[in-house]
Amino acid sequence: MSQPTIESILQENRVFPPPEEFSREAAIASLEDYQQLYDKAKADPQAFWAELAEKELHWFQKWDTVLDWQPPVAKWFVGGKMNISYNCLDRHLTTWRKNKAALIWEGEPGDSRTLTYAQLHREVCQMANVLKELGVQKGDVVGIYMPMIPEAAIAMLACARIGAAHSVVFGGFSSEALRDRLNDAEAKLVITADGGYRKDKAVPLKEQVDLAIANNHAPSVKNVLVVQRTGQKVHMEPGRDHWWHDLKLNASADCPAEPMDSEDLLFILYTSGSTGKPKGVVHTTAGYNLYTHMTTKWTFDLKDTDVYWCTADVGWITGHSYIVYGPLSNGATTLMYEGAPRPSNPGCFWDVIEKYGVTIFYTAPTAIRAFIKMGEHLPKARNLSSLRLLGTVGEPINPEAWMWYHKIIGNERCPIVDTWWQTETGGFMLTPLPGATPTKPGSATFPFPGILAEVVDLDGNPAADNEGGYLVIKHPWPSMMRTVYGDDERFRRTYWEHIAPKDGQYFYFAGDGARRDEEGYFWVMGRVDDVISVAGHRLGTMEIESALVSHPAVAEAAVVGKPDELKGEEVFAFVTLEGDYEESEALEKELKQHVVNEIGAIARPGEIRFTDAMPKTRSGKIMRRLLRNLAAGQEIAGDTSTLEDRTVLDKLRGGA
Ligand code: PRX
């Protein structure tokens, strides 16, 4: 099994039409239906979105202007007032959905909880009141550092309810990474838990928060709200740290949702880029609500009877948009699972599907590759007949993994939606609509209605069929990121100037290469910048390099992605040492651990290669292309004539 290569994908010409019985029941039931919707949206995007906003969402006050576009700054539904927590909860309470399961949660050790819409609403209101009591006001930022338990979703919705922005930090990030993010966002309060379960272990979280904010290192943080999950012993700083279960006892369940301006900040979510520290991606209220609502509804062809399970963590955008906001806004039943497939029960995912009769299953290619490795006897031993739709996200899926998913999990009757999107886009950009789009393994197919996607060259000219280029979006869409938190200039530079605007046409570009085949299908080839994807997690090579050089032994570091069968890519680091240090296995281990401490376990280098010098151009730039070849164990491709010292390469090869 391997990652898709241009060659393997070019040879991919299998087509899977939507199963007839699926299309028969689907809201968008044919390619013609899709085309009509697409054309309608393209002809008048503002009218298209306005009609849906009116029909699908609750507003305290209607907008005056659908779109105010001063490139690259977009404002949607200007003058409108709404609250996403109201749309996700309150409006369902006056319908039969009041007692429908909103959130089904399965804990790793086997405990479980189901919250109806009424119960979830109650908990959210209580937490919202507790936040207010602790001094959180509209416009403040709240950090959330949680395991995958219902309170993670409750915390997000509670913030949204009172108009505080949340900044969720993935629980696998280290205290250092957490601190950077809390400081950048100037978070006033942190919501966390004592710990959480993952892969048969209780992972400490509160302890990491303590380390992050100790010695006034995160001075904006005044309070910490702690949910008890594992029962492990934690330090509770008097006056600063509060148990959720204590404060909940006296918290009122009456907390009307704050009417928010459409463009009020909803959340900040940090993500890696090719340069500098992680960027705080800013999403605002109404456009994000509408777009995640519509993409959930149409891409998953949601029915009221669905039990929908997205296996992401709420620490990533997928968890935000497609565990919490999109499904709940639609009144769906969303399932949340605490852990990951674990040594003591590698078949646990299939158990969950069988136990709850999951109908829609949405996961990442890296997980599918791990399932393949664990063996098909595991899913085959369970009854997965409840499934009707499958999805993938996060990285290009190799056709072999797609076929396995189709055959073994979907029993050849479930469509697969391969959804291409990003933290920055807020929701799906390219995706099949399952009742309408014939799929091709490895292709995210076509743009969602309202999305004008294209593959272009550096001058913005469309690429010919099957010719590679940059994947861009040419018209604003409701859930597009609004800016980089606190850095409008970086926003402009990073996303809007890579391909220069031409004749008033702006091109949104966030780093992926792609091609379009002769039938208009998009094939995303992966990042063209220095961002790597390890097990579907996006990491900036520069962040890892900075972590390495912060160790006293390291003089210089260069990090590249090495192709990996399971994880897609693995972190491979080339390191030169300071004069007094000698390479050793112990030092290699220490450096790997250092990266874990600085960023988190997801960034741990798989391999570190010590070298006396880096291959550089005469102007002193590290030639990463060569390092990528070396890491992959390939012959050096292309021109090396700009290399300053050719003997460096021989030395690096010698270490291979
Ligand atoms: O390279 C693309 C890849 O993941 C990147 C976005 O990462 P992140 O912001 O962490 O969001 C991940 C979840 C949306 C993209 O630039 N990517 C995401 N989905 C796909 C994909 N690559 C190919 N096919 C996909 N379906």
For 198-252, what is each residue's pLDDT tens digit?
A: 989 999 999 999 999 999 999 999 999 999 999 999 999 999 999 999 999 999 9
Please say if the pLDDT value at position 1 is more than 80.
no
How far does residue 539's CA lie from ligand 1's centre (Å)? 12
Residue 272 CB neighbours (<10 A): 24
Q: Rounded to an integer, what distance in angstroms lies between the CA atom of residue 652 and that of residue 650? A: 5
Q: Rounded to an integer, what distance in angstroms lies between the CA atom of residue 103 and that of residue 386? A: 18
How confident is the model at residue 7, as a pLDDT?
A: 54
Q: Is the CB of 527 under 6 A from ligand 1?
A: yes
Q: Is the CB of 275 under 6 A from ligand 1?
A: no
Q: Is the CB of 279 under 6 A from ligand 1?
A: no
Residue 9: pLDDT band (50, 70, 90) is low
Residue 6: pLDDT band (50, 70, 90) is low
> Which residue among 267, 325, 393, 522 has the greatest number of ligand 1 atoms within 8 angstroms of its CB, and so is best to mutate?
393
Pair of tokens at residue 313: 């963590």
Strand, helix or coil for residue 388: coil
Please say if the pLDDT value at position 178 is more than 50.
yes
Average pLDDT over residues 60-74: 98
Q: Rounded to an integer, what distance in angstroms lies between the CA atom of residue 2 and that of residue 539? A: 21
Q: Rounded to an integer, what distance in angstroms lies between the CA atom of residue 205 and that of residue 184? A: 20
Encode pLDDT of 354-390 as tens digits: 999 999 999 999 999 999 999 999 999 999 999 999 9
How far does residue 148's CA lie from ligand 1's centre (Å)? 21
154 neighbors 191 (Cβ within 8 angstroms): no
Encode pLDDT of 122-155 as tens digits: 999 999 999 999 999 999 999 999 999 999 999 9
How far does residue 330's CA lie from ligand 1's centre (Å)? 24
Encode pLDDT of 414-473 as tens digits: 999 999 999 999 999 999 999 999 999 999 999 999 999 999 999 999 999 999 999 999
Residue 282 CB neighbours (<10 A): 21
Pair of tokens at residue 132: 């207010």
> Which residue among 533, 541, 602 has the greatest number of ligand 1 atoms within 8 angstroms of its CB, and so is best to mutate?
533
DSSP output for 214-264: GGGTSTT--EEEEE-SS-------TTTEEEHHHHHHT--S--PPPPEETTS
Encode pLDDT of 288-334 as tens digits: 999 999 999 999 999 999 999 999 999 999 999 999 999 999 999 99
- Length of the chain in terms of residues written: 656
Strand, helix or coil for residue 358: coil
Contacting residues for 334 by C-beta, under 8 A, at least 6 apart: 102, 103, 104, 308, 309, 310, 323, 324, 327, 328
CA 266 to chain centroid: 16
Q: Is the CB of 264 under 6 A from ligand 1?
A: no
The phi, psi pair for 597, rounded to 5°, reads: -65, -35
How far does residue 394's CA lie from ligand 1's centre (Å)? 4
How confident is the model at residue 653, as a pLDDT?
A: 73
Ligand 1: residue whose CA is nearest its atom 4? 394
How confident is the model at residue 490, as a pLDDT?
A: 96
576 neighbors 612 (Cβ within 8 angstroms): yes
Global pTM reads: 0.96
Q: Rounded to an integer, what distance in angstroms lies between the CA atom of residue 219 and that of residue 215? A: 9
Q: Is the CB of 170 under 6 A from ligand 1?
A: no
Average pLDDT over residues 565-586: 95
How confident is the model at residue 656, as a pLDDT?
A: 43
Q: Is the CB of 271 under 6 A from ligand 1?
A: yes
Please say if the pLDDT value at position 5 is more than 70.
no
Pair of tokens at residue 72: 């690259």
What Å distances lie between residue 226 and 155, 330, 538, CA to CA?
11, 30, 28
397 neighbors 363 (Cβ within 8 angstroms): no
Question: Among the atoms of ligand 1, which is closest to the Cα of residue 312?
Answer: 13
Buried b (16+ CB within 10 A) or exposed e, 121-143: bbbbbbbbbbbbebebeeebbbb
202 neighbors 234 (Cβ within 8 angstroms): no
How far does residue 235's CA lie from ligand 1's centre (Å)? 38
Strand, helix or coil for residue 282: strand
Question: Among the atoms of ligand 1, which is closest to the Cα of residue 316?
Answer: 10
Contacting residues for 314 by C-beta, under 8 A, at least 6 apart: 144, 146, 148, 152, 153, 156, 168, 320, 323, 324
How confident is the model at residue 399, as a pLDDT?
A: 94
Contacting residues for 652 by C-beta, under 8 A, at least 6 apart: 574, 609, 611, 615, 627, 630
Average pLDDT over residues 615-627: 88
Please say if the pLDDT value at position 352 is more than 60.
yes
Under DSSP, the state recorded for 64 is: S
Q: Rounded to an integer, what distance in angstroms lies between the CA atom of residue 533 and that of residue 553? A: 27
Q: Which residues pair with 532 in a beta bridge?
A: 539
Contacting residues for 144 by C-beta, under 8 A, at least 6 apart: 152, 155, 156, 159, 166, 167, 168, 169, 190, 191, 192, 314
367 neighbors 141 (Cβ within 8 angstroms): no
- Relative to beta strand 279-284, strand 333-337 is unpaired
DSSP output for 587-621: HHHHHHHHHHHHTBGGG--SEEEE-SS--BBTTS-
How far does residue 395's CA lie from ligand 1's centre (Å)? 5
Strand, helix or coil for residue 625: helix
